[in-house]
């Protein structure tokens, strides 16, 4: 949908989530589609709950104030992913207020978007700010964030081919609602134990926070760990708390994810791969990123970026099943308003 809007191409999408036990569009999908429709003053057909078929006719991209509310714990960061490319090619500064889950399963935590995605996108020339008004967790949601996005004249290619040396690992272990602060210590301590064993001599600092009631809605817990390198890379591991999983296991899960991605020598982690594909496709010049094993999300993003935009991607194997280089000759999309 984002590429359709940016390139003024009509699009017909069928068999949406057809392999699921409950196929079709859900609440957060509809909110994302409606945001892009509104950002282009376009025509959207088939946008009903559980619909498996939509048609979209985009018109002109517009800047302004936009609002989306999943009314569930649906991820605000996924809505932002959908919206950001369109807002970058608008005429003026745009404001995007989103309500839903800020720290949700199967989606980047808001802390990831701010501390990992944002600094890497800045290399493309992207500029946005994020104000977390209130955090929201599964199952109630209730979170709220405000994004301010500046338009670009165009995006520049990036080169992220060497991880370099680790300089530090920072983190954030949190609880909210009625959950006790001791859970943050358990998550943080179990993660730090594994990280110190894997990366002796690297400074590690994990903050432990009980979110105040005015800054968080409902009960939630989790941890996010970010490794920074001498070449400016940021690689992340994260996990959310569940009733069925011990706090020690939550911390260990986040640490193991981080350790595994770093063991591949990746310049981006498994969750950043697919998020960068659309920006590589739109950029001017040749972008290169070194990754671990490619995720299905990444392969899908490459497929549709090539199909719709015409950008040329090539995946080169460096070490079989361990290390790859994704290269893309972008289409150099220019913002016609700037």
| Binding-site entries for ATP | 81, 271-275
Radius of gyration of the chain measured on its C-alpha atoms? 20
Other C-beta atoms lying within 10 Å of the C-beta of residue 112: 22
- Decide: helix, strand or coil at residue 238: strand
The candidate with the shortest Cα–Cα distance to 217, out of 146, 140, 147, is 140
Can you say which residues are annotated as belonging to the binding site? 81, 271-275
Catalytic residue among 12, 264, 297, 303: 297
5 sits in which H/E element: helix 2-7
Residue 238 structure tokens: 């994260």
Q: Is there a catalytic annotation at residue 210?
A: no
The candidate with the shortest Cα–Cα distance to 224, out of 204, 251, 262, is 251
End-to-end alpha-carbon separation of the chain, Å? 23
Number of DSSP helices (H) and strands (E) in the chain, helices first: 9, 16
Residue 176 structure tokens: 């909210």
Q: Name the H helices within 219-272.
A: 247-263
- Decide: helix, strand or coil at residue 324: strand
CA dist 257 and 173 (Å) reads: 16
Q: Which residues are catalytic?
A: 297
């Amino acid at each position: 949908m984002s590429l359709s809007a940016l390139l003024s191409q009509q699009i017909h999408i069928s068999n949406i989530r057809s392999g699921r036990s409950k196929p079709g569009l859900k609440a957060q999908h509809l909110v994302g589609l409606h945001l892009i429709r509104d950002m282009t003053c376009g025509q959207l057909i088939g946008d009903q709950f559980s619909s498996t078929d939509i048609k979209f006719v985009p018109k002109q991209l517009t800047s302004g104030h936009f609002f989306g509310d999943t009314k569930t714990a649906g991820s605000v960061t996924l809505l932002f992913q959908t919206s950001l490319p369109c807002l970058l090619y608008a005429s003026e500064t745009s404001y995007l207020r989103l309500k839903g889950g800020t720290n949700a399963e199967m989606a980047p935590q808001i802390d990831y978007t701010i501390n990992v995605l944002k600094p890497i996108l800045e290399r493309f020339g992207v500029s946005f700010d994020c104000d977390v008004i209130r955090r929201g967790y599964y199952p109630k949601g209730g979170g709220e964030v405000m994004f301010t996005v500046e338009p670009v004249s165009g995006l520049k290619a990036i080169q992220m081919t060497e991880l370099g040396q680790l300089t530090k690992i920072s983190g954030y272990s949190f609880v909210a609602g009625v959950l006790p602060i001791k859970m943050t210590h358990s998550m943080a301590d179990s993660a730090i134990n594994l990280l110190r064993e894997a990366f002796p001599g690297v400074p590690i600092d994990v903050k432990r926070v009980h979110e105040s009631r005015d800054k968080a809605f409902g009960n939630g817990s989790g941890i996010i760990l970010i490794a920074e390198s001498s070449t400016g890379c940021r690689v992340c591991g994260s996990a959310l708390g569940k009733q069925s999983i011990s706090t020690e296991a939550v911390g260990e899960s986040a640490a193991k994810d981080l350790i595994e991605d770093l063991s591949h020598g990746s310049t981006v982690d498994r969750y950043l791969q697919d998020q960068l594909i659309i920006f590589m496709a739109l950029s001017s010049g040749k972008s290169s990123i070194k990754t671990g094993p490619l995720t299905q999300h990444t392969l899908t993003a490459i497929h549709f970026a090539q199909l719709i935009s015409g950008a040329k991607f090539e995946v080169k194997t460096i070490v079989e099943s361990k290390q790859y280089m994704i290269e893309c000759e972008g289409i150099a999309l220019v913002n016609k308003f700037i």
